[in-house]
Amino acid sequence: MASAREVHAVSSDPVKVRNLALGLLALTKTAENIFKEWELTFLRDIAEQSETVIALSPKERKEFKFSARQSEALLALRDFRLTSRQAEKLFEIRDSVTLHRDIKGISVRNLIVRCYENRLDLDEGDEEFIVGLWKSGATELRTPALMRLKRCSIQLGELESYM
Q: In terms of Cα–Cα distance, which of 134, 129, 163 is closest to 148?
A: 129
Q: Judge whether 46 lies within some domain.
A: yes
pLDDT at 75 over 90: no
Tell me how far apart the alpha carbons of residues 88 and 48 are, in angstroms, rounded to a whole number. Answer: 18
- The C-alpha angle with vertex 70 and arms to 68 and 72, in degrees rounded to 5, equals 85
Q: Is residue 83 part of a domain?
A: yes
- CA distance linking residue 61 with residue 96, whole number of Å: 36
Task: Say whether both 133 and 115 belong to one domain.
Answer: yes
- Asked whether residue 163 is domain-assigned, the answer is no
Mean pLDDT of 29-39: 79
On whether both 91 and 104 belong to a single domain, the answer is no
- Dist CA 56 CA 110 (whole Å): 52
Per-residue confidence band for 109, with pLDDT thresholds at 50, 70 and 90 = very high
Tell me if 42 is assigned to some domain: yes
Q: SS3 for 103?
A: strand
What span, in angstroms and rounded, lies between the C-alpha atoms of 21 and 141? 21
Quote the mean pLDDT of the chain.
80
- Which DSSP symbol is given to 27? G
Residue 126 sits in which domain range? 100-156
Is residue 161 domain-resident? Answer: no
